[in-house]
Structure formats: structure tokens, C-alpha cells
A and B are shown apart, each in its own frame.
Chain A
């Protein structure tokens, strides 16, 4: 008998949990429903958490200021746990059950691409925050993005190199998705800038020594080393370059632009040049820069609310919601009208840059980066 009581207890618990889960659904006010699925847990959590927090902060602010034309904004955020299948479930829930007029997500390329066919079939706008080129190339009617394409960032760097008369470059990249995509873009774009790639090496994300690869690169006669990856690998590359006494200038991708890199590389970070988002050098921008005000506001607001620094991942979420809210103000929450209005977005100044969508271009950004360097362990804007 005791045993059966225990089993009943467990059953009761399950039912209780189920019931509670149901209660939180329901509720129907004339509010505008916007859905978001982010990777708040799993390997992509460093992207998803600032995105989620940014969205929450913005929704609170919008509702405090009287909503959108009097309609409160109901923002529903789901965690896809960096998993495609969960992202699909979350998106179907947001679209069919919560009746979202538009959805934001995902944090990573995988979840974004997994949800794209659903957005297309359901006729709901999806704004992705991931960098993978396949998300908006070829253009899908209902899918937009706010993260900059790698090609734009690489282009910015190569333009800078060209202006400094560098013709021979060597590439060392992280063999993860971010690094290999950067390598592909450099290979693709180098001929356009009349550069030759004289050396190409790779490392695994967790490698702790890259002296072998760098020694090989030193022997190639390259005029510049480009390192493309996400922390901690590039910090190690910078340290090894310093230890080997290599004097060839070191350039990096935008993946390292945060405090972690400065902490890990220490004095070896000094002199590294990279294209990066404006957010990390917001207070050094010229007063005439159209983004300066919004960047400083966002950075200050985020730091005040969450007690940590804002980064460009949160920025992608900020831009996605800003674009949707602006369109909602103009045409309301009809899904089709909303999409058409979003496609007409022009000259919208966001965190990532100035957004201009068109029927042929769902990427929006054209100049997402500035060139920065490290001086005495601090990011410094390189003025043209």
C-alpha cells in the first residue's frame, strides 16, 4: 500500500506540473504578440543570453512608454537550447499557438535555417540573428537578418590592408564554423583586392600552442597574418606571435572583439588590428556619427539593468525588435502587411549599423564595421 501511495504521489506531481504549464498559456488582450526563440542554453548560450536579456529589457521599456500606438507589446521568448529540433518546436508554438505576428531567431545558423521553411510556409516574418550566408542567400520572402555577413567584415579588413599596400597575406583560422567560414570568405575575396594568399594554417578551438603553424607562416614571406576565430584560440595566436618575435603585423576577425580576448592575450593583444562592431568603441565615435547616441544609450541601459557589458549579440536582437516595432507602428500586426513594411525599412540606425532592406536584399547592413586596434590593453578606434 505504501508503494502505491508513492506512485500516486509521483503521478500527482506530474499532473501538477502539467497543470501549471497550461495556466501560463491563455490570456488574450489586444496586444501585439512578437515571438522570439534564442539559444539561452547549450553551446550557443553566450549568444542567446544577451539576446534574451536585451529583448526583455526593450519590451519592458516599450510597455512602460505606453506600448505601440497604445497596444501593449507581448513578447514571448522560447529557449531552443542550441538545438534545431527544439527551435522548430518553439517556432511552431510561437506561430500557431501564441499567434505571433513576427518571430525573432535564432541565435545560431542551424536553428535559423531549420525554422526558415516554417516561416515561409506559415507566412510569418522571421528575423535571424545569425551570420550563416545561406539564411538570406538566396533571398527568402519571409526571412530577414540583422547579423552582418562575414563577407562584409572580411571586405572591410581587406580594404584596410589594400590601403596599406599589403599584397601577400597568410591566414590562420579556427577550424570551427566561424573560423572556416571566415577563411572561405578571405579566399573568395582576396583576388578582388589583388592579394595572394601565401600561407594557410588551421588550429582547433582548444589548442594551447600554435608556434608550429606560425613558424611555417613566418617562412612564407607574408606581409600580414590574418587570424580568424573565436576565443580562446586567437588569444593564444597573439601570445605565440609575441613569443616567437614575429614582426609581421597581426590582423584578426570580429569574433574576438570582447573583454575576454584582452584578458587572455594580455600585453600580446597590443597592436592587433581588426574590423569590429561600433558598440565596443561607442564613446570614441565622432559626435556626428548617426549611431553614437543609440549605441551609448543601449550600452548604458544594459549595464545598468544587468550589471555586465552589452555586446554585439544583444545588438542583433535589439535591431531585430526595433525593426519589427517600427513596422508595427506603421501598419499594425497583420502578418503580410508587416512583412511588406519590414522589407521597406530604410536608413534605420541600429546597433549593428544602418539597415536598408529591399526585395533583393534581406541582409540590411552594408557597413557594419569600423577598424579598431589595441593600445595599452584597450580598444581604440582607428580614425581614417
Chain B
């Protein structure tokens, strides 16, 4: 476990240096987007990998977060930071309310219910024209500013978002070390057995659902503040699938898995741009190879490498 914290510090230092290594805004923008998506996948991993509950509708919470800050700042002229807090509160309340009945479902039924929730939100975003602008979306969303400091460009947003990602990661690590973390693992491996041990499984699942939804809402708010324009498509069903793919490719139920998966799926399509129309085929091929040879996610490669190196070091001594 101590090694995990050392790793976190090393990664943080590396991430702190990244903006100075990137030659242009295009690459910085990709780094920012990966950070935004990481906030969602870290939360989704808690739900998927630890609490063992699937969600095919997390893009909806991401969308509610984005639309709430946009509507509050544009239509109601709220201050950007207050709007951010309001949006997180709203997402939390919605997740808590729908989590109650939905989390009683299991397996395919839960997948269906969350999927349905995602679709309903998508339709509402398209149809509530007065508030959301319909398919044309909302433009001129202000930049986030906290106490007079404006996060006006990708450079500033980068530090804010990756700072938050590392903070959330640190909190997750602390949580997993404690009673709650072990309770999560128990629920994941056998819900019935966990209950007999006195773990309140439904409260635990509910907590994971609300936490992951709020993180998705937070990511949505940052998306709106950094792009300054939103329309319903980025929050549609496809993105929910993308999020689950990121977690699975990276490595479910591992603290570093979602970060690795998000980074990979964020970077690979950009590298494949050179292939013009064949990029989608290459992308698919890579995903297939990863799933076949690394079923526990790309994170297993990391462990394998660390293991090899430490063995080699010991052997050398």
C-alpha cells in the first residue's frame, strides 16, 4: 500500500510537468479532456469495479452537470462557482432519488434501467428547448472563475482538473484502505455473504452510485466551462458505453485502471489520425488485442513490469 502512495506522488509530479513538455494547445486540450474523463471513470470504477454495479447511463449525469452550470450561468446569471456547487448538489439529489429504486435491480435489469435513464435525459436535453436550446445547444457559457481568478485557458484548466483528479484518486485510496473499502470488496465478490457479515449492502451501493454520479456531474461542469458550448450529442448513449469501455480496458476494480484506460482511449484515436479512414479499424483491432491478451486490463501490464523489474533488481543483488 505504501508503494501506491509513492506512485501517486510520482505521477502527480510527472503530470505537473506535462504542460511544459507539450508543444501546443492541441495536445494540451487532449490532456485536459483526459483529465475530465478521468474524473468520471474513477467514480465509475467505484461503482463497477468495487460495488459491482453496472451503469450504462453515466453520460446522463455528465450531461446534467454540464447543462445545469450552463443554464444557471446563462439564464439565471449565477456566479460560475456557485453554479458549479448548485449543479453538484442537483446531480447528487437526482442520483440519490433514482438510485433508491434502480439499485434494487441486478445484472441485465440494472443495465437496462440505467440505459433507460440515460435515454430519457438525452430526450429531455433535446426537447426542453427553452432551457437547453434543443439540438442547437447553448453557446457563450462563461469561463469558470473562483474568487476572481479566471480559468480562461487550457493551461490553467489543466492544473485545476488534474489537481482534482489526483485529489480524488488520493481520497479513493484512503477509502479503500478503510472499513468502507473492504466492505466494497466484500459486496463485489459476494453480496449475500457480505450481508451476513453485517454489511449494509444497499446503503453501500447507493453511496457508490451517488459518489460516481457527482464525479460525473463535476466532469460535465468542467466540460461546459472549458468548451463554452454544449449540445446534447456528447452526453448521449454512446458516451456511456465509451466510459464503461475505458474502465474495462484500463482494469476494473483496480485504483489505477480507469486512469490508464482513459488515457489510452483518449490518446490512441489522436495517434491514429495519420491513418485517415483506416483509423477506426486500427482502433478496433487494438481494443480486441487488449481484451484478448490482457483481460484484467492494461493495468496488469504495469504490475507485470513492476514485478519483473523488482525481481531483476533483487536478482542483481
Contact = CB atoms under 8 A, between A and B. Distances in A.
Interface stretch (B25-33, B49-57, B210-218): B25-33
A10 B231 contact: no
Given A7-B301, A89-B26, A18 B271 contact: yes
A134 B138 CA distance: 10
A10 B272 contact: no
A205 to B, nearest CB: 12
Nearest to B226: A88
A180 interface: yes
Nearest to A184: B129
A89 B30 contact: yes
B75 to A, nearest CB: 16
Interface string A14-29: 1001101111110000
Given A17-B272, A82-B233, A89-B29, A97 B136 contact: no
B203 interface: no
B273 interface: yes
A14 B264 CA distance: 10
Contact of A21 (B137, B139, B275): B275
Nearest to A85: B234
Interface string B266-294: 00101111110100101000100110011
Contacts of B139: 113, 116-117, 134
Contacts, number: 105
Contact of A10 (B229, B230, B294): B294
A24 B274 contact: yes
Contact of B272 (A21, A41, A83, A95): A21
Interface string A35-63: 00000110000000000000000000000
Contacts of A83: 233-234
Contacts of A18: 271
A84 B227 contact: yes
A122 to B, nearest CB: 8
Interface in A89-117: 89, 92-93, 95-97, 109-110, 113-114, 116-117
Interface string B282-314: 100010011001100000010010001000000
A92 B26 contact: yes
A10 B289 contact: yes
Contacts of A13: 286, 289
Nearest to B267: A18
A14 B29 contact: no
Given A14-B286, A113-B136, A84 B294 contact: no
Nearest to A43: B233
A116 B140 CA distance: 10
Contact of A117 (B25, B135, B229, B294): B229
B29 A92 contact: yes
7 closest A-B pairs by CB: A24-B274, A177-B135, A21-B271, A96-B24, A21-B274, A92-B26, A93-B26
Interface of B: 24-27, 29-30, 33, 134-137, 139, 223, 227-231, 233-234, 268, 270-275, 277, 280, 282, 286, 289-290, 293-294, 301, 304, 308
Interface of A: 4, 6-7, 10-11, 13-14, 17-18, 20-25, 40-41, 78, 82-85, 88-89, 92-93, 95-97, 109-110, 113-114, 116-117, 132, 134, 176-177, 180-181
Given A25-B274, A88-B29, A113-B231, 14 more contacts: A10-B290, A10-B294, A17-B286, A21-B271, A21-B272, A89-B26, A92-B24, A92-B26, A96-B24, A109-B135, A110-B231, A113-B229, A114-B231, A134-B139
